[in-house]
C-alpha cells in the first residue's frame, strides 16, 4: 500500500524525530511536500569538471579526495583550509585549495581522506587556485550511495538542522513510498504521468530531467495564473456600480488643453471609461512610460466618477508629487469651477468650501487610511503603483465600499512579470510619448572625462539651463547617507560656483525637501544634487541635463525613470552616465540605444532577474521553485490562456475534475483574507 501524499511525517518511522522541526521550517510536513520540494539544481556526478588551473566565472563541480586540512587564525579571522586532490590525475594534477573563513564547524565536517564533491567558482589568490566557501558534500560510503553518487544528483534547498544529503535521502524514500498518482496535476489536458515527480529529482539522464522540469514549470505557472485569474473573475462577477458620467466636465477640460491627446491616451481613456460605466468594479492598471501623459487619463476618469455623483481621489507616493498634481488640477479645474482638495499627512486645503465635499481629491497614500474627506469614494487612482505594496493594493480591492480602482505605473513591466504580479488586473498601455518633446541624448562616459563634462555643465547653466546630479545611496545607514550627500553637495558647489546648487536626499525632512524642490522649480537653484527622491514625477521643463554617478549601481529601468525628468521642455536634453568599468558600459549602452521603456525593462529582467526590477525584495512576486520568468515567458502566457479558458467553461470550478483547482483557489483566497 502506498501512502497518501498528505500523511503526516510524524507517523512515519523513516523520518527521524529530530529532523521533523527542521523539515517543518522548510514547509515540509508530508511525503507529498517532500516530493514537491524541488531541487535547486542538479550535479552530473557521472562526469565531473576537470580541476581548474585558473579562474572561472561559472561555478564548477569537482570530485576529489581531501589530502590535508589546516585550521589557523589570521588576526581576528579564523581560516580553515582543505587541500583537495584529483584522484584520477595522480601526481600530475595540481591540488585545489578550499578555504572557509570564520566557519569553525566546517573543520568538524571535513577530514583527511574524505571523498568530497565541491561546487563553486575557482579564483586566483596569488599563484594558487582557490575556492572560497564552496558548497561541498562528503561522499560517505560507496555501496549505499547510489542516490548520491555516479548519477545526476539533485541538490535540494536545505536549512538549519537538515543537510542536502539528508533531504535527498528523505525525498528518495518519499518517492518510493507515496502514491504519486494522488498528487494533483492541474494543467488542463496534460497527460497525468506520475513519473514526472521522480524524474524531476532523480532523472535517468538530462533529457528526462528537462522534460520533467518543463512539465512542472507548466504546473507552477498554471497555479499562479489560476489564482490571479480566478481572483479577477470573482471581482468581475461580484458586480459594481455603473458610473457613466455625462462627459460634460471632461470636454470642457479637454478643450482648454493647448494640445491634442495622443492616440494611446485616447485608447486608454476609452477603455477606462467603458469600465467605469459598466456595472462591475474596475480594477485596472495603466502602464505608460514617464512623460506619456498618464495624469490626464486619470483626470478624465476622475471627472467621469464626479459627474456620476461620486468622489474621486488621486493618491501619490510623496507629498511633492501630491502637491504637483494638486496644482496641475487646479490650473485645469478652477476655471471651470470644479473643486479640488489636497490632503496629505501635513496639509489639508481645498480650492473653496470644506474639503470633504470636493469631488476631486489629491493626496498621499495616507489618505487611504485616514481620509475623513473621502466620504463618498467612487474611484481611487494610485499613482506610481510600484511604490505602493501589492498587499496594500489587495486591501484596497477588499474595501467594503467597493470603489473602482485604477493603478498607474511609469515602470514599464516586462510582460511575464505583469502577468504574474498584476494578473488580476486589466491592463491599459500608453506606448508612446506625446510628440514635440525635446530629444534626450544619453551617453555613457568614463569618470576620466569629468573635466569636459563639468565644462559642459557650466556652460549650460550659464545659458540658463538647469541640471540634476544624481548619485546612488552609498550606504543604507542614515549617518553615512547624510554625510555622503553633504560631501557630494560641497564638491559640486565648488565645481559649479557661482551657480546656486541645492541638495535633496531621502533623509531630509519633508518640508525642507519641498522647499528645495520649490526653489529648483522656480529656477532659483541651477543644479540639484539628489538621491533617487527625484525619481518619480517631478516636472521641471527647464532642467535639461542629468548627470548620474556610478550609474551601474542603478537598474536600467531606474535610470530610464530618472532620465524621464529631463526632456520635458522643447530643449534638447542630455543624460550622462558616469561609469568606470567597461562591462558596466556595455550593460548601460542599452540606454544609449533605446528610449522604449518596455525594451529596457526586458533587458533589465535579463540582466538582473525579476527580484530587483520592482525594487528589491518587495516585488511581491511569488517565489518560484522551478520556473524562470525570462526563460519560460511563453509558458506563462500559455498558462494564462488556459486558466482563462478553464474559468470560462467552469466559472465556479464546481466540476469534480476541478476539485484540486478549486482547493488551490480557495486556499489562496483565505490566505488573502487572513492578511
Ligand atoms: P506621466 O505619464 O509621467 O505621469 P504626465 O501626465 O505628468 O506624465 O505628463 C507629462 C507632461 O506632458 C505634462 O506636462 C502634461 O501636461 C503633458 N502632456 C500630457 N499629454 C500630452 C499630449 N497629448 N501632448 C502634449 N503634452 C502632453
Ligand atoms: Mg506621473
Contact 673, 394 (CB under 8 A): no
Q: What is the mean pLDDT of residues 273-301?
A: 92
Whether ligand 1 lies within 6 angstroms of the CB of 597 is answered as no
292 lines ligand 1 (CB under 6 A): yes
Higher pLDDT, 333 or 413: 333
**How many Cβ atoms from other residues are within 10 Å of residue 673's Cβ?**
9
Q: Is 570 in the pocket of ligand 1 (CB under 6 A)?
A: no
Whether 300 has a pLDDT exceeding 90, the answer reads yes
For residue 297, what pLDDT is reported? 97
Q: Across the strands, what pairs with 123?
A: 130
Which residues have CB atoms below 5 A from the ion given as ligand 2? 537
Please tell me the distance between residue 408's alpha carbon and the centre of ligand 2 in angstroms: 8
Q: Whose CA is nearest to atom 4 of ligand 1?
A: 294
CB contact at 8 A, 628 and 420: no
Provide the 3-class DSSP secondary structure of residue 25. Answer: helix
Task: Read off the pLDDT of residues 593-638 as tens digits, 9 standing for 90 and up.
Answer: 998 888 888 888 888 776 555 544 445 566 788 888 888 989 999 9
Q: Which atom of ligand 1 is nearest to the CA of 262?
A: 23
As a whole number, mean pLDDT of residues 224-235 equals 90
Residue nearest to atom 25 of ligand 1 (CA): 434
Closest ligand 1 atom to residue 298 Cα is 6
Strand order in the sheet with 348-350: 348-350, 340-343, 360-364, 311-316, 377-382, 404-409, 283-288, 426-430
Taking residues 345-350, what's their average pLDDT? 65
* Residues contacting residue 58 through CB under 8 Å, at least 6 positions apart: 121
How many angstroms is it from 448 CA to the middle of ligand 2? 35
Q: What percent of the chain shows pLDDT beyond 70?
A: 88
Contact predicate 450/576, CB 8 Å? no
The per-residue pLDDT for 334 is: 94
Q: Is the CB of 290 under 6 A from ligand 1?
A: yes
Which position has the higher pLDDT, 670 or 321?
Answer: 321
User: H helices of 293-379, where?
Assistant: 294-307, 319-333
Of 364-368, 498-502, 511-515, which range is least confident? 364-368
318 touches 506 (CB < 8 A): no
Q: What is the mean pLDDT of the chain?
A: 87
**What pairs with residue 269 in β-bridges?**
none
Same fold, 248-430 and 440-599: yes
> Peptide bond before 498: cis, by omega within 30 degrees of 0?
yes
Residue whose C-alpha is closest to residue 164's, from 192, 137, 143, 202: 137
| Cα 300 to averaged position of ligand 1 atoms, centre (Å) | 13
Specify the DSSP element, H or E, that contains 289.
none
- Please name the CATH architecture into which domain 440-599 falls: 3-Layer(aba) Sandwich (3.40)
Say which CATH topology domain 248-430 has: Rossmann fold (3.40.50)
Spacing, Cα 430 to ligand 2 middle (Å): 12
Residue with CA nearest ligand 1 atom 9 = 293
- Pick the ligand that lies closest to the CA of residue 260: 1
Percent of the chain at pLDDT > 90 equals 52
**Start-to-end CA span in the chain (Å):** 40
* Ligand 1 pocket mutation pick from 256, 257, 288, 293 by most atoms within 8 angstroms of CB: 293
Residue 257 Cα: closest atom of ligand 1: 16
Q: Is 261 in the pocket of ligand 1 (CB under 6 A)?
A: yes
pLDDT at 74: 84
User: Which ligand is in closest contact with the Cα of 570?
Assistant: 1
Q: Do 384 and 357 contact (CB within 8 A), yes or no? A: no
Q: Is 52 in the pocket of ligand 1 (CB under 6 A)?
A: no
pLDDT at 337: 92
Give the DSSP letter string of 429-444.
EE-SPPTTPPPEEEEE
- Closest residue to atom 5 of ligand 1, CA basis: 293
- From the CA of 291, which ligand is nearest? 1
Q: Which atom of ligand 1 is nearest to the CA of 265?
A: 23
Is the CB of 295 within 6 Å of ligand 1?
yes
What are the cell numbers at 621?
Answer: 512576486
Strands 573-578 and 543-548: parallel
3-state secondary structure of 669: helix
Q: Quick one: cell of 311?
A: 468622489
- The best mutation among 258, 294, 295, 315 to test binding of ligand 1, ranked by most ligand atoms within 8 Å of the C-beta, falls on 295
> Which grid coordinates belong to 498?
557661482
pLDDT tens digits along 121-157: 999 998 899 999 999 999 876 655 578 888 899 999 9
Rounded CA-CA distance 231/593 in Å is 39
Domain 42-155: CATH superfamily is: Nucleic acid-binding proteins (2.40.50.140)
User: CB-hemisphere CA count at 13 Å for 611?
Assistant: 4
- For ligand 1, the distance from its centroid to the CA atom of residue 292, given in whole angstroms, is 6
Diameter of the chain measured on Cα atoms: 91
Distance CA 192, CA 190 (A): 6
Q: What SS3 state is found at 9? A: helix
Between 412 and 36, the more confident residue is: 36
Give, using CA atoms, the residue closest to atom 23 of ligand 1: 261
For residues 571 and 260, the model is more confident at 260
Return the pLDDT at 141: 67
Q: Where are the domains of the chain?
A: 42-155, 184-238+631-675, 248-430, 440-599
Q: Where are the alpha helices (DSSP H) in 463-616?
A: 478-496, 510-521, 556-563, 582-593, 597-608, 610-613
pLDDT confidence of residue 476: 59
Give the ligand at the shortest distance from the Cα of 430. Answer: 1
To the nearest 5 percent, what fractions of the chain are helix, strand and coil? Answer: 45, 20, 35
Grid coordinates given for 179: 502514491
pLDDT at 331 over 50: yes
Task: Say whether 285 sits in a helix, a strand or coil.
Answer: strand
Amino acid at each position: 500500500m502506498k501512502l497518501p501524499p498528505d500523511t503526516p511525517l510524524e507517523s512515519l518511522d523513516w523520518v527521524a524525530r529530530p529532523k521533523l522541526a527542521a523539515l517543518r521550517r522548510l514547509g515540509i510536513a508530508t511525503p507529498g511536500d517532500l516530493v514537491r520540494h524541488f531541487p535547486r539544481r542538479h550535479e552530473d556526478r557521472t562526469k565531473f569538471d576537470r580541476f581548474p588551473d585558473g579562474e572561472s566565472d561559472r561555478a564548477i563541480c569537482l570530485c576529489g579526495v581531501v589530502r590535508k586540512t589546516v585550521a589557523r587564525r589570521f588576526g581576528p579571522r579564523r581560516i580553515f583550509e582543505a587541500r583537495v586532490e584529483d584522484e584520477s590525475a595522480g601526481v600530475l594534477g595540481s591540488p585545489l585549495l578550499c578555504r572557509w573563513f570564520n566557519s569553525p564547524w566546517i573543520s568538524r565536517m571535513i577530514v583527511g581522506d574524505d571523498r568530497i564533491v565541491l561546487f563553486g567558482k575557482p579564483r586566483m589568490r596569488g599563484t594558487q587556485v582557490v575556492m572560497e566557501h564552496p558548497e561541498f558534500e562528503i561522499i560517505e560510503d560507496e555501496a549505499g550511495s547510489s542516490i548520491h553518487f555516479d548519477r545526476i544528483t539533485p541538490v535540494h534547498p536545505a536549512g538549519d538542522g537538515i543537510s542536502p544529503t539528508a533531504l535527498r535521502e528523505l525525498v528518495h524514500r518519499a518517492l518510493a513510498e507515496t502514491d504519486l498518482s494522488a498528487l494533483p496535476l492541474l494543467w488542463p489536458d496534460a497527460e497525468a504521468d506520475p513519473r514526472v515527480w521522480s524524474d524531476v529529482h532523480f532523472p535517468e539522464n538530462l533529457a528526462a530531467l528537462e522534460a520533467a522540469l518543463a512539465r512542472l514549470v507548466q504546473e507552477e505557472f498554471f497555479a499562479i495564473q489560476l489564482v490571479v485569474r480566478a481572483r479577477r473573475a470573482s471581482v468581475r462577477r461580484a458586480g459594481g456600480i455603473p458610473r457613466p458620467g455625462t462627459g460634460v466636465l471632461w470636454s470642457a477640460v479637454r478643450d482648454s488643453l493647448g494640445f491634442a491627446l495622443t492616440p494611446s491616451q485616447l485608447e486608454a481613456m476609452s477603455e477606462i471609461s467603458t469600465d467605469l460605466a459598466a456595472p462591475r468594479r474596475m480594477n485596472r492598471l495603466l502602464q505608460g512610460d514617464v512623460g506619456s501623459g498618464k495624469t490626464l487619463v486619470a483626470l478624465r476618469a476622475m471627472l467621469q466618477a464626479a459627474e456620476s455623483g461620486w468622489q474621486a481621489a488621486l493618491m501619490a507616493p510623496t507629498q511633492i508629487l501630491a502637491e504637483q498634481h494638486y496644482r496641475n488640477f487646479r490650473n485645469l479645474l478652477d476655471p471651470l469651477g470644479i473643486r479640488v482638495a489636497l490632503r496629505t499627512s501635513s496639509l489639508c486645503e481645498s480650492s473653496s468650501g470644506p474639503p470633504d465635499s470636493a469631488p476631486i481629491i489629491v493626496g498621499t497614500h495616507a489618505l487611504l487610511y485616514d481620509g475623513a474627506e473621502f466620504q463618498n469614494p467612487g474611484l481611487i487612482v494610485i499613482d506610481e503603483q510600484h511604490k505602493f505594496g501589492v498587499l496594500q493594493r489587495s486591501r484596497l480591492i477588499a474595501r467594503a465600499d467597493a470603489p473602482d480602482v485604477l493603478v498607474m505605473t511609469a515602470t514599464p513591466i516586462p510582460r511575464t512579470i505583469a502577468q504574474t504580479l498584476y494578473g488580476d488586473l486589466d491592463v491599459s498601455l500608453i506606448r508612446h510619448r506625446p510628440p514635440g518633446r525635446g530629444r534626450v541624448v544619453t551617453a555613457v562616459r568614463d569618470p576620466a572625462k569629468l573635466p569636459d563634462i563639468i565644462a559642459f555643465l557650466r556652460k549650460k547653466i550659464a545659458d540658463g539651463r538647469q541640471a540634476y546630479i544624481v548619485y546612488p545611496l552609498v550606504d543604507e545607514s542614515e549617518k553615512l547617507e547624510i554625510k555622503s550627500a553633504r560631501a557630494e553637495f560641497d564638491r559640486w558647489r565648488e565645481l559649479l560656483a557661482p551657480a546656486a546648487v541645492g541638495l535633496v536626499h531621502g533623509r531630509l525632512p519633508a518640508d525642507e525637501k519641498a522647499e528645495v524642490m520649490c526653489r529648483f522649480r522656480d529656477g532659483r537653484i541651477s543644479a540639484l544634487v539628489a538621491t533617487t527622491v527625484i525619481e518619480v514625477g517631478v516636472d521641471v521643463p527647464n532642467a535639461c541635463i542629468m548627470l548620474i554617478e556610478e550609474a551601474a549601481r542603478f537598474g536600467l529601468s531606474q535610470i530610464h525613470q530618472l532620465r524621464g525628468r529631463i526632456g520635458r521642455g522643447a530643449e534638447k536634453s542630455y543624460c550622462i552616465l558616469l561609469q568606470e568599468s567597461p562591462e558596466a558600459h556595455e550593460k548601460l549602452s542599452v540606454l544609449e540605444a533605446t528610449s522604449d521603456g518596455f525594451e529596457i525593462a526586458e533587458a533589465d529582467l535579463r540582466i538582473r532577474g525579476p527580484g530587483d526590477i520592482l525594487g528589491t525584495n518587495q516585488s511581491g512576486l511569488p517565489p518560484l521553485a522551478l520556473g524562470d520568468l525570462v526563460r519560460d515567458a511563453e509558458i506563462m502566457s500559455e498558462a494564462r490562456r488556459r486558466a482563462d479558458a478553464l474559468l470560462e467553461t467552469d466559472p465556479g470550478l464546481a466540476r469534480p475534475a476541478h476539485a484540486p483547482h478549486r482547493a488551490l483557489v480557495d486556499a489562496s483566497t483565505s490566505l488573502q483574507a487572513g492578511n
